[in-house]
Structure formats: C-alpha cells, structure tokens
C-alpha cells in the first residue's frame, strides 16, 4: 500500500448515505474505510427512518450533529463546514443513486457509489458529465477488482503471459434469491431496482471483472434472461455470448437462484500461450497455466508478484486476505486520488485502478444491451460502450 | 455389477474396427472390455495400414486369421463363423462410422460405436432405422454416462432431490487442439470430421451428459461457434444458451483451445430445492446442496447410494475408480443386453443406461442445430429431437 | 460483533512497542486494531532505531510527542497522561516480552503480547502473577483462535457434535526458514528467541489451537525435535505424540523448512460420532462429518451457525474473511473486556475467548515439555499445565 | 505398459486362494489381473465354505474342476497339470498367509500375497528364505506403489528434484473400524490378525509408500499405539516419530476410527530444494514445489513425465485412472517378471517395482518395532531392516 511509502498528511473525512439499516452493505463500507487508517467516518444520513439513523450513527461514534435525517441536508451542511466530508459513500437502492450523487457532486464532494450506477442510461450519462464538469472523484464499488490476485491477473494479461486472449468465461452464481425474502424486497421491485435484476445486481460485477482483467473491448453480446423463481419480477438467471474487438469469444452466466452457491464469482481467461483462473471464494490464489506446461498455483504475496498485486497486499503469503481487504484497497486508492487532487496533482486518471464513473456507465450500457438482446430472440446486439459517447 | 449376482454363461466375443494405430481410443475400448471379464477381444481390422493392423493384432493376442485388413472382409467372415463376434467396436474417424456400422448391422452383428454417430443427419437416421429393422444392439460410447456418480446424479434428479430443475450449466474445456498437431489431422479436416469440430468432438458429450442426468428435453438453443486457433478449419470454441421444455435454462460451453485444461467436463444442475455438481476429473464425488443447507460431499460407494450408482461400483469408497471403470460399465451393460437378446428377452429397452443409437442421433441433431443458430446471428433455433421423427 | 448491538462509548487508545520496522507484525496489529473502529493507535515505541521509530510513527499519523524512543519512557509518560493509552501491544523479539510487559503491567496498563509469552518458565509465571496482582487485562495473540470457523469448531465440540473426542491431529507446516535469511536473524539466535525455535514460533500456535477447539487437557507428550537446515541453531522440525486426560491421542507436527508450504496450520479432530477439519489457508470452511454420513462443508455465515462464530463474523457467507478479521476479533474482544473492567464489571473471565496470560504460560510449559522429551530419547513426559501452579 | 511395446507370448494363468466371499479384496485382484489382458483366472480355492467356493468359481467362469475346496489340493493338482497356474494370489486373513504361501512356493509356483506378509517375524523370514531357495517370484500387494504418480514421485526424488530429503510425513486415516462390524471380525481377532491392528492393516501400506518414494532407510522409530474404540482388542490409532539414516525426520499416523475419512493415505516429502505431496484419493496429481517457486500441479500423463510413471499410464491426462489401474500395474509387472524368468532371464531383481517378499518382511519388521516402542513409553527403538539378516 502506498501509505507505507509516502506518509499521508491526514485522515480523510467520510460521510455515508444509506447503509445504516441492519444491512451488510454499509457495514462493509465502514470496515473497508477504516482498515488502513486512511479515513474516519464522521457524518451520515444512514437511514430514511430517523430513529434508525440516530442509533446507527451512535453505534459508529458519529457525532450527533452529523447524523442527518436527509441526504439533502447532509450535502448542504457538510459542504458548508470547514471540516466537511472529503467524500460520501452512497449505499442506497439503485433508483436513488443518481439524485443523491448529483446532490453531492453539485457541491464538489467526491463520490463513492454502489453499483449499478443508475437504473437508466440517461442518468448514467448525466453522472459522467456532471462528474467531469465538477472535477470530482467518482468511484463505483466493483469491489472484486480490489483483490490483489485480480490485479495480478490483470498484470499478467498486460504482460502478455497468456499471449493473445481468445476466450473469457465469467460467471456469478449465487443462492441469495432462492426464496422471496423480506428485507431484499426492493431488489424484486422494478421501481426501485430498475428493469434488470440479476444482471444489474451481480452481472455487472462479472462484466466489470472481465473488462478489468482482460482490458478487452466487448463489442457484441447475445443474452437470454429469465425469471425462474415464481414470483420474481426481474431476471434471476442470464446467459450471454460475448464477442470482443480482438476476435475473442466468451460467455457470462449469472444467477441468484442456484442453491448451494454463496458468492460464486469466477473467471477463466485463455489465450494463445496460457490461461488463468480465479475464484472469489478462494481469492488468494490464481491458477496459471502456460501452454504445454503444468499449471502453477500463484498465491498472494508469493514468489510471483506484479507491481499492482504487491501494492494491494498487506500481510505475508499464507495469511488469507478477504473481501474487506479488497474493498479497503479501493478506499485507500480513492484517498490517494483525493489527496492528489487536493494537492493540485493532475487528476484522477493517473493510474488509479478503482472503478470510475465511466466504468459504472459501461456497466449500465451492458445491462441494457443484455435486455435488448434478450427481448429479440437473443440475437447479437451492439454492446460497444463507445456508442455512449466520447471516451466511453 | 450384475455379473456378481447372475453369473454370465460365457464371455462374449468382441471385434474392433480401427483403434490399432498408436492412438489411445482403441486401447481404452480394449481395457474397458476386459476389466470385468465379460468380453474377449478375438478379431480386428485395427488399421488401414496392413502391417500396423498385423502388429496391433499380435500385441493383443488376436489370432492371426482374425486380424483383418478390411472391415468388409471382417464383417463377412465373422458373420460366417460359428464362433463369430457378438459385437464390433467402431473407433474410426467420424465420416466412416456410417458405412462400417451398416456393414455389420446388415449381418446382424451388434454395434459399439464412437461418437459423434455420423457426420450427416441423414446417415444418423439411417442407422436408427437400420438398427431397428435388424433388431441389433447399437451402443454409442458417451463414456461419461458410465461413471457411478453420474448415474447417482441422474437418480437424485429423478428422485426429486433437486425439486423442479431450473438451470443446467455444462462445459467441456480442453487444451487438446491448442496447437495444430500431427496425428489428429483428421479432426481438423471437414471431409473426415464433418462440418463441426469441437461441438462434434466434445460438445456432444456435454449435451448427452446434461440429457442423461436431467432427463429434460432440450427444445431450443442459441449457439456461437468460432475457430479461434489460426489454421483451424472447424469450430474450436462454442457457447450455447439452452432452453428446456419445462422452462429450465442453461448454457453449454466447449472448447479445445484452452491451455491448462486437460479434460474439463463439468456439470452443475440447480432446481427449486437443491443443486448438484460433478466434474469428470474428480469423478468419485458429487457436491449436493439442498436449499438452505450446507453442501454435502457424496462419494462413490459412500453412505448415500442409489441403485444405479451402486450397480456401477466395483470397489469400496475412498479407492478411486476412473475413466476405464466408467467405460467398462458400458461394456458390461452391453454384454447383459446382448445376452438377454440372445436368450430371447424383450429387447434392449429394458432399463439399460448405455447410450443408444437414438441418443447418438440426438447428438447429431444437436450438432446441426448449433451450426444453424451460429450461422444465423445466434438466434434461437428449434432443437427438439422430436423433429427427427417418431421416438426421437 | 457486539459493537453493533451495544454501542461502545468511545474508541480505546492503543500504544505499540516494536512493530515499526519494515516487519509485518506491527502492521498486522495495526490493521486488526483499526478494522472495527474500536481502537485508535496514538502512541508507539516502534523501533529501537530512533529514526525508524520517528518515520514509522509519522506513517501511522501518531503525534510526534507520542512517538517514543524507549518503552520505559513510553510506559511512564503514557501512565501519567490523562488521555494515556488503554493498552499496549508488544511485538518485539521473544526475550524482551517479559521486561516490557512488566513495565506496563506495573503501571496498570493492559497488555496485548505476541507469542511465545516468554523464553523461560519463570518469566511466564511471573507475568501470570503480576497480571493477577495488577488486575490488568493481558491477552496473548494466538491469532488463529479468532477465526469464526475455529470458534465454530470449538462450539461444535462443546455441543457434543463429535461425541467423545478420540484423536487430535494438528500441524503447522511452513517454508519460512528454508534459507538462512537476513531480517529474521533473531529467530535463529537462542539469546533472543529462547531455547526453542519452530516449537516456540509456530508449535505454540498449534498447541493453543488444539486446546482451544477441543477443550482437552494435554497430560503427556513425546517429542522429537531436530534442526534440519544446516546452520540452524534451534529446532526447525518437531513431531510429537499427544496424550489427553480423557484418553484421546494425537500428534503435532511443526516445521519451518518445508518448501511450498506458506502457512499451513491445519487441525483435524475425531470423536466417537463425528469429525471436523479446518485449515488456516482456507479459513472460511470446516468439513464436518458425522458417523455414517457424508461430510458437509460448513461455511462462515452459512446455514449452520453457533453463537461465537456468528459473533465473530462481519459479512455474508461467500465473502471471504481472512487473517486480519480473525486478528480484529481478538482486538474487539479485548476492547470489550477493557471497557467492562473500566466500568467495574466482574473482570476478564466472563466468557471472552481471546487467549489469556495463562494460555501464554501454558504454551511456554508446552515448549519446555517438548524440549525435555526430545532430550530424553522422546520418552513421554508430563505436560500437565497444572504442574505450573494453581489455575494453570 | 510394456505389453504394447513387446508383445507378450501368451496370457498367464492365475489361481486364487480366498477372495470368493462377498469381500472386496478378491474382486479387486480379479479386475486388476484382467484389465491389461495379461492374465486369465483359471483356478481357485475361493472360500473355506465349499458351496460359496463353487458359486464364486462359477461367477467368474472358472472351470468346475479347478474350483478347489482346499488350497492344499489346489497346490498339488495345479502343480501336476501341464497347463497349471503360473501364479497364485493369496487373499486370506493374515495368519494363514505363511502356510498357504509355503504350500505353493514348495511346488515352484509364483506368489502374489496380500499384506501384512505374516503375523510373526519368523514366518516372514521363513518366506524370504523359501522364496530365494525356490527361485520363485513373490510379490506383496502394497497396491498404492502401483499408482503412476507414486512412481513419478519416486522418480522425482531419485532425480534430485527435492534435493536432500529432510522430512517425510505419511498418514493413513480411515473410518472403517468406527464401529465393531460383522464381516471384519477377524481383523479384531489377535489370533487371526496377529498382534497388530491398524499398524498391520494400513500402517504397513504407509510405511511401504514412504520407503518406495524416498528410498530412505528407516533406522529408528518411536510409536504410540492405542485402542480407542471400546471393544477393540488391537490398535486402531498409532502415531510414530521416524528417523532416517540420512538424518531426515518424519512422522507416520494411522487410524481406522476417524469418521468421515474413507481411505486417506497421503504423503508429503520435503527436501532441501523442493517438496511434493500426493494423496491416494486424488491419485492423478502431485503437487510439486521447488524452493522459492510457486507449486505446480503435475498430472498423470501430463507435460512432466518420468519413465516409470509413463510406463504405468494407459490413457491421456484428464481421464482419471484409479485404484484398479494401480493394482493392474503390479499384475502386469509380475507377468513380465514371470515371463522373463520362464525365458531364463536373470531373475526378479531387474528393475521391477512391484513389492517383493523382502519388502513384505520389512513391513513385518516395522510392525514389531512399533509394538516394541509403544510398550516402552514410546522410546526410540532400532527399526533397521538390516537387523533381520543379509539383504534386508
């Protein structure tokens, strides 16, 4: 982590919108922000329910006067404080991301936002443009890209270890919607979640992971979406054929109704001279196979290292790091980016690996391409992000 | 195995066409036939090269007068002998299966044939009809269906352990065509292999495995076929969306150009109340997960058993069985079926699990459905075997 | 974690002795302390080298006036401050633990100390007695006992899931001393490390893990210690027969010279009605097998839970937690214990699971029993901690 | 397999004593003998119960006149036949091995005998001497040494891939005596099984495996034997410290009372420049780690090969071979040795890897060394086979 090499000047101040309900998401953000000692959580509009917001703030030792009951007030008040927040984390249902983000962007506050970025393409593009105009940092939490071995995978591909990439197989298999459950109601409500279900909830993670590791441009896709659980209003199962600009092919499979699968995000990439495989549930290892050689088990912190994987590693090999460490890698990079911006350094595009608002918009583009294909007998449709506008 | 319960009257006599070259396939057939002591290999037209045919026959202690240099002579001579072969194994390139099979069917000799059954749909249907007319036993060696745990998987699905099936994920990932290689030339020659490459070579195994375990009828598929290795004339990579008659969805992925993958046939089936997973490279186990329970590791010969898995098992749990044992299960069942037929018992349709000529024809139908979809922007096409004719 | 249910009143103040050098140990302590937001690191005597101490303190945003160059000054100054530290972490070479701990105990400051507790039995007993007299909290960082699944294992044994325990197999296999390395010199220096090498460095972890999970009393052991790497002055390989008070048997194997092994701490416990297995490198799972049933894969946060494993879990199943989360569980429990003590609650013996100074002393007792046996042709020797004095 | 390179002249004729009861052992021997087409089973005294002997013989198509009711008759009659058996397999309870083996040795018939060789040291030495005098081939079925990857492990050690061997960890963990069971009664009867239980039944396999792979001479051992299951009269749990002539150390653990463990024979060998690990339940792979490199997964038939592993392999990588194939490798080598002897070639000591009568005697020596140590507070005792006499 860079913080050991260049000492940070101060801890950054973080606010949070949403996350205070008994849910796991806010809690994960908080642990991730705290782990490296780079952030302190000082403000929050943690719940739409004022009492829950108050209790949640107290739990986390947030001063009472900074436990807000509305994000609008929070944005205004924090922007006005001398010691206002450096960034806000948005972990609310999908349909609210856009309005909340705009409230903070418009006051020059940096953003850390859950995925999917938005529930419409127009909203996504609006956030891209607003971010660029305001000059803020906007990160989207495709957390899995923070794993050291995912970064090693990216480095290995970049270094040509696999040769020309030919095949990408990515899947995200889970059981979290095997039954209609209380507490996740909004995820089955098109008004809150948007028109896509599993593709928005987990498919976008798979899509980002493949893009992050391979660096390839997805040009076309064919998708077959289905709602397999009776009562589901949105897709809970999707398969996709993928075609990349270099001629590579692939598939993406995501589902939320597969009993026995906890959080099965896995990727395999094959090229002309090698292949690699990584699985989120065993994140400290990659299997790397070179053509005509037996596979090797690479480990985080082991004898094979790459710059970005080493930078993302805290403890020696054999001591597992997990999801929160991956998440913390994003938070620490975001802190670096904000400090650099505050110090007048070039800007956010100088080598940071955390997912940007543009990555978020590409995810939304992917969602709608899948929907279009599925509604047209799964024929291939254009999925080029470039269709979104310049630089996308 | 039934042979321990009802003593067989005699060993059956086996002939082989092809398989004598240094190739692995004939050797596998021979080990599989010998393992249970139910067959003796007594005749062969083992190679188109007479000298190689002679040496191969001698290696295997086949009498010199039954080491033939042409399958036509072999069919005629063996049919004329009092002690002629009970069945012939055909392990030659795809395009020759039809003619060879017809030569033996027409003389009333039972058939054991490699897959894909044929390289045209018309040839496949012709073999179905000829088999029915001649009343012979015709088995197609989708060997993987002989594994005890594959049979257990089928039994578990049948017994409703997974509830209503919702999702089928089957893949066959291999590295065997990462380079253009001598010795497998015919597999890259449309004139010998037919119009499909990886889909014919391994995709049909995946297709049969899914059908065998789930018992579902595949009604539609969308396929994207590609030749990724420069110089390949046939597909070496294919992805497919699968739709079943009960509303279940799935995907099939097969490729022969993924470095580091030896023989990666894997299947995962999910239903409303459970899921299971099996992988050919670790064939002695199934992971079975019931809804809202932690997964269990079932093992061959272990505390969970089903009739057909137990019948297909030779040795105690913890002592691995492998590919040849699975293959031998087919050979032993075929022997049972032939003896039953010779004894005037009802016929081959009495519960035997070995793949039939109809299964082989369904595989050919699958191949051509995939080709049609891929040639039409991957739109879904009808894949119902019923389109082939009655009983298919 | 309890902190979500009963809101803590304040963050506790932590000091650190050692840990500032480029070493990993101090860094792990810091991340573990920060993760749950229960501690702030405010003081340190981070290195014997003043410049390195200063830089390390700055890196971690420790105020300049609390970056001490000697632990004695630190103990005195912090004890005198109104806002002095609530606890000190000691992560220095083994031989210094005793003196440093005494300096803080004697000023009423709570202790978090690396293992092995001391390098002599007398020092260990002295710390036990001093701790009791001063009434401080003294935790020894057998970090592995903080893993949720280790706690689940303990709960399962306690609940009788395995029946009467019969066999304990624990091993700690590593490669970290395959070569004589700079930077770890003190670990090969009997003057700093004490008379035991691998047994002190990792064997004590294995010993504690077995005791923690099984709750059994080790009564006798037979050990064979060896220095296998030329140049090693201390043991780098040890095997032990273990005998427990209930008649159970077991073995312990530890080594630091096994290439390819990163941090291979593994335990298997068998009883009359079941068995379980856990491995530190895959810490989110336990394999649990009941007599005459197929094994089940239990996962952290999954459908099988126990009170202490659930309390030690932060994020949903399928999202791996790792070493730092386990370590953080100790830090958070220690914070709970300190706050309870400060609030006048009964004391440290009310259900906390973090290893105590008595556990540390039992580890030292174990080390010297192993040494005695090994020096006597591996004959069994008494290993009863009770021999140390009352309550041990 | 050599049979593909040098065509055998004829199938060898095999007889069997024991094995006909519903037991698994005889059946395994039969499959192993048949797999490669090198043997035919033509005679047997398959059960002490004449009716069971008759039925068993019929099941296996043994001619009625060669289904004997006593081994003495069988030895006499077969020795007198022109077409008498080339070898006899002995798969009866331990205490009968010696007398049966002598009956056949004395008539010049080659022997294939289950382990442990005998239940007394004197009997073991007697068989060694009788075998040498008679000049017969005598193989002991330590089957696990027939696995291709075990042979690769041996070759890798021999080739110096691991450097100087320092540590050997071998274990055999099973559940087969978790309950007192009918059908295995003799295994708990000192009069039939001899004075050792788990050490004789599975410990000798572990001992042979370690010796086979490492080539090291075991000089001393310390053992702790226990009968943990109430009602067991013989040991069902044993731990041992191992010391080798080159200074290497190790441990051996075996138990038959560990629920959830099917047939857990595993070995790990570490040396100065590398390590390897192999597990019987996943026999097609070795994990090989070189010093300061990440581990590699070697596979049977893969890109890393050694002469003896390749010779022991039938089918391509990725197509699992199992226990019966390992067993068949012994049978085929024994056939080669017998044919060579019949052809007047030098004798049995020309590179064959199947375990010899001397290996069997070393196993008996190991058993009694373990017993002696355990009866003497686990002090180290001499385990040098050389103490047995010349060439041992």
Helix or strand or coil: residue A113? strand
Mean pLDDT of C151-162: 98
Chain C CB contacts of B274 below 8 Å: none
* Count of A-B CB contacts under 8 Å: 142
Q: What CATH number does residue D38 fall under?
A: 3.40.50.720
Q: How many domains, in total, are found in chain A?
A: 2
pLDDT the model gives residue B184 = 62
For tokens 């012939």, what's the residue? B88
Residue C352 pLDDT exceeds 50: yes
Mean pLDDT of B71-80: 98
The angle formed by the CA atoms of residues C178, C182 and C186, to the nearest 5 degrees, is 90
Task: Note the pLDDT tens digit of each residue in B23-43.
Answer: 678 999 999 999 999 999 999
Specify if D154 maps to a domain.
yes
pLDDT the model gives residue D348 = 47
Helix or strand or coil: residue A254? strand
Are C195 and C125 within one domain?
Answer: no
Distance from the Cα of B296 to chain A's closest Cα (Å) equals 10
- Out of C34, C282, C317, the one facing A262 most closely (by C-beta) is C317
Are B211 and B289 within one domain?
Answer: yes
Handedness of CA C174, C178, C180, C183 (dihedral sign): negative
pLDDT the model gives residue D5 = 46
Residue A373 near chain B (CB below 8 Å): no
CA distance B300 to B305: 8
**Mean of all residue pLDDT scores within chain A:** 93
Are B65 and B158 within one domain?
Answer: no
Are D171 and D53 within one domain?
Answer: no
Chain A CB contacts of B383 below 8 Å: none
Residue A262 near chain C (CB below 8 Å): yes
pLDDT the model gives residue A5 = 46
CA distance C50 to C44: 11
List the single best residue of B181, B319, B327 to mutate versus D (max D Cβ within 10 A): B319
Tally of residues, chain A: 392
User: A302 vs A315, A318, C246, D110, D235, CA distance in Å?
Assistant: 11, 8, 41, 53, 42
Inspect the interface and report whether the beta carbons of A299 and D302 lie closer than 8 Å: no
* Prior bond of B73 cis (ω within 30°): no
Specify if C389 maps to a domain.
no
Share of chain D above pLDDT 90, in %: 84
Residue C379 near chain D (CB below 8 Å): yes
Inspect the interface and report whether the beta carbons of C303 and B295 lie closer than 8 Å: no
For tokens 């056939």, what's the residue? D335
Chain C CB contacts of B294 below 8 Å: 296-299, 302-304
List the single best residue of D300, D303, D309, D318 to mutate versus A (max A Cβ within 10 A): D303
Residue B116 pLDDT exceeds 90: yes
CA distance D14 to D88: 6
Task: Note the pLDDT tens digit of each residue in B127-141.
Answer: 999 999 999 999 999
Those residues whose C-beta lies under 8 Å from the C-beta of residue B343, and which sit 6 or more positions away, are: none
Other beta carbons within 10 angstroms of residue D315's beta carbon come to: 21
Chain A CB contacts of C59 below 8 Å: 3-4, 7
Query: Of chain C residues 326-355, which have a CB less than 8 A from chain D?
Result: none
- pLDDT beneath 70, residues of chain D: 1-7, 21-23, 182-184, 346-350, 386-392
Chain D CB contacts of B324 below 8 Å: 35, 314-315, 321, 324-325
User: A361 vs A59, A145, A216, A252, A366, CA distance in Å?
Assistant: 34, 16, 16, 19, 9
Biggest CA–CA distance in chain D, Å, is 64
Q: Which residue has the higher pLDDT, B296 or D25?
A: B296
User: B42 vs A131, B45, B324, CA distance in Å?
Assistant: 79, 11, 20
pLDDT the model gives residue A360 = 97
* Phi-psi category of residue A301: left, alpha or beta, with phi > 0 → left and psi -120 to 50 → alpha: left
CA distance D324 to A288: 32
By the 10 Å C-beta count (0-12 exposed, 13-18 middle, 19+ buried), B51 is classed as: exposed
Are B133 and B208 within one domain?
Answer: no
CA-nearest residue to A297 within chain D is: D295
CA distance B13 to B10: 9
Specify if C101 maps to a domain.
yes
In SS3 terms, B280-304 reads as CCCCCEEEEEECCCCCEEEECCCCC
Residue B350 pLDDT exceeds 50: yes
Inspect the interface and report whether the beta carbons of B241 and A250 lie closer than 8 Å: no
Inspect the interface and report whether the beta carbons of B295 and C297 lie closer than 8 Å: yes
Inspect the interface and report whether the beta carbons of C262 and A322 lie closer than 8 Å: no
The encoded tokens of residue C40 equal: 């702030």
Residue D64 near chain B (CB below 8 Å): no
Under 8 Å between Cβ of C362 and C368: no
Handedness of CA C230, C233, C234, C240 (dihedral sign): positive
The angle formed by the CA atoms of residues D381, D167 and D196, to the nearest 5 degrees, is 40
Are B165 and B289 within one domain?
Answer: yes
- Out of B294, B299, B303, the one facing C298 most closely (by C-beta) is B294
Chain C CB contacts of A323 below 8 Å: 315, 319-321
Specify if B323 maps to a domain.
no
Q: Which residues of A134-164 are buried (b: 16+ CB within 10 A; e: fewer)?
A: bebbbbbbbbbbbbbbbbbbbbbbeeebbbe
- Out of C37, C261, C316, the one facing A34 most closely (by C-beta) is C37
Inspect the interface and report whether the beta carbons of B4 and D27 lie closer than 8 Å: yes
Mean pLDDT of B309-336: 97
Inspect the interface and report whether the beta carbons of A239 and B250 lie closer than 8 Å: yes
**Mean of all residue pLDDT scores within chain B:** 93
- Out of A243, A255, A295, the one facing B167 most closely (by C-beta) is A255
CA-nearest residue to D147 within chain B is: B320
Are B258 and B223 within one domain?
Answer: yes
Strands A218-226 and A274-279: unpaired
Mean pLDDT of B220-224: 98
- Out of C229, C275, C379, the one facing D260 most closely (by C-beta) is C275
Chains in touch with B (≥3 Cβ pairs < 8 A) = A, C, D
**Mean of all residue pLDDT scores within chain C:** 93
Residue B335 pLDDT exceeds 80: yes
Q: Which of C125-129, C350-354, D372-376 has the lowest mean pLDDT?
A: C350-354
Are A186 and A123 within one domain?
Answer: no
Query: Of chain A residues 280-299, which have a CB less than 8 A from chain C?
Result: 280-284, 299
Those residues whose C-beta lies under 8 Å from the C-beta of residue C342, and which sit 6 or more positions away, are: none
pLDDT the model gives residue A187 = 83
Residue A305 near chain B (CB below 8 Å): no
Inspect the interface and report whether the beta carbons of C257 and D166 lie closer than 8 Å: yes
Chain C CB contacts of D289 below 8 Å: 259-261
Distance from the Cα of B279 to chain C's closest Cα (Å) equals 17
Helical H runs in chain B?
24-35, 50-59, 71-80, 97-105, 121-134, 148-158, 190-193, 198, 204-214, 307-311, 323-342, 357-374
CA distance A76 to A68: 11
Distance from the Cα of B243 to chain A's closest Cα (Å) equals 9
User: B21 vs B26, B53, B54, B158, CA distance in Å?
Assistant: 8, 8, 11, 41
Distance from the Cα of D371 to chain C's closest Cα (Å) equals 15
Residue C345 pLDDT exceeds 70: yes
Q: Residue D218's beta-bridge partner residues?
A: D244
Chains in touch with C (≥3 Cβ pairs < 8 A) = A, B, D
Query: Of chain D residues 179-198, which have a CB less than 8 A from chain C?
Result: 179
pLDDT the model gives residue B299 = 98
Report DSSP letters for A281-292, one per residue. TSTTEEEEEETT
- pLDDT beneath 70, residues of chain A: 1-7, 21-23, 182-184, 346-350, 386-392
List the single best residue of B13, B61, B322 to mutate versus D (max D Cβ within 10 A): B322
List the single best residue of D273, D285, D296 to mutate versus A (max A Cβ within 10 A): D296
Handedness of CA B58, B63, B64, B67 (dihedral sign): negative
Tally of residues, chain D: 392
- Out of A58, A280, A324, the one facing C325 most closely (by C-beta) is A324
Specify if C322 maps to a domain.
no
Give the range of the structural domain holding residue C249, as residue numbers without chain letter.
146-315+361-374
pLDDT the model gives residue C7 = 67
The angle formed by the CA atoms of residues B171, B174 and B178, to the nearest 5 degrees, is 140
Inspect the interface and report whether the beta carbons of A274 and B259 lie closer than 8 Å: yes
* Count of B-C CB contacts under 8 Å: 30
pLDDT the model gives residue B182 = 59
Are A254 and A212 within one domain?
Answer: yes
Give the N- to C-terminal CA distance of chain C in Å, as an integer: 29
* Prior bond of C48 cis (ω within 30°): no
Specify if A164 maps to a domain.
yes
Chain D CB contacts of A294 below 8 Å: 296-299, 302-304
pLDDT the model gives residue A386 = 66
Are C133 and C157 within one domain?
Answer: no
Are B181 and B241 within one domain?
Answer: yes
DSSP letter at C319? S
Are B173 and B245 within one domain?
Answer: yes
Report DSSP letters for C132-153, one per residue. HHHT--EEE--GGGGSHHHHHH
Distance from the Cα of B293 to chain C's closest Cα (Å) equals 6
pLDDT the model gives residue A385 = 76
DSSP letter at A203? I
Strands C39-45 and C12-18: parallel
* Count of B-D CB contacts under 8 Å: 128
CA distance C379 to D375: 11
Specify if A213 maps to a domain.
yes
Q: What CATH number does residue B246 fall under?
A: 3.30.360.10
CA distance D147 to D280: 9
Specify if C383 maps to a domain.
no
pLDDT the model gives residue C49 = 86
Chains in touch with D (≥3 Cβ pairs < 8 A) = A, B, C
User: A162 vs A272, A276, B119, CA distance in Å?
Assistant: 6, 8, 34
């Amino acid at each position: 982590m860079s913080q050991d090499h260049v000492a940070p000047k101060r801890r950054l101040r973080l606010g949070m919108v949403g996350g205070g309900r008994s849910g796991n998401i806010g809690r994960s953000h908080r642990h991730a922000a705290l782990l490296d000692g780079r952030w302190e959580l000082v403000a929050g509009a943690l719940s739409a329910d004022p009492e829950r917001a108050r209790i949640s703030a107290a739990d986390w030792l947030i001063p009472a006067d900074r436990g807000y009951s509305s994000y609008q007030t929070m944005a205004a008040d924090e922007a006005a404080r001398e010691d206002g927040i450096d960034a806000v984390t948005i972990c609310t249902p999908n349909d609210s991301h856009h309005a909340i983000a705009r409230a903070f962007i418009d006051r020059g506050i940096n953003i850390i936002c859950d995925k999917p970025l938005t529930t419409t393409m127009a909203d996504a593009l609006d956030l891209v443009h607003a971010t660029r105009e305001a000059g803020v940092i906007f990160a989207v939490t495709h957390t899995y890209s923070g794993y050291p071995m995912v970064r090693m995978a990216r480095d290995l591909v970049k270094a040509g270890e696999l040769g020309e990439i030919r095949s990408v197989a990515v899947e995200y298999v889970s059981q979290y919607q095997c039954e209609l459950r209380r507490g996740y109601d909004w995820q089955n409500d098109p008004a809150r979640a948007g028109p896509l279900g599993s593709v928005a909830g987990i498919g976008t993670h798979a899509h980002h992971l493949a893009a992050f590791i391979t660096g390839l441009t997805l040009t076309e896709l064919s998708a077959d979406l289905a709602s397999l659980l009776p009562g589901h209003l949105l897709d809970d199962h999707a398969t996709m054929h993928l075609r990349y600009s270099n001629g590579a092919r692939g598939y993406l499979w995501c589902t939320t109704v597969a009993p026995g699968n906890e959080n099965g995000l896995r990727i395999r990439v094959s090229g002309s001279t090698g292949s690699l495989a990584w699985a989120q549930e065993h994140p400290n290892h990659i299997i790397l196979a070179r053509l005509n050689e037996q596979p090797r088990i690479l480990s985080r912190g082991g004898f094979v290292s790459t710059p970005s994987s080493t930078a993302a590693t805290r403890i020696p090999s054999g001591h597992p790091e997990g999801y929160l460490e991956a998440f913390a890698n994003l938070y620490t990079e975001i802190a670096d980016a904000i400090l650099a911006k505050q110090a007048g350094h070039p800007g956010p595009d100088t080598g940071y690996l955390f997912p940007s608002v543009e990555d978020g918009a590409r995810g939304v583009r992917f969602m709608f391409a899948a929907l279009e294909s599925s509604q047209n007998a799964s024929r291939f449709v254009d999925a080029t992000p470039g269709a979104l506008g310049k630089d996308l």
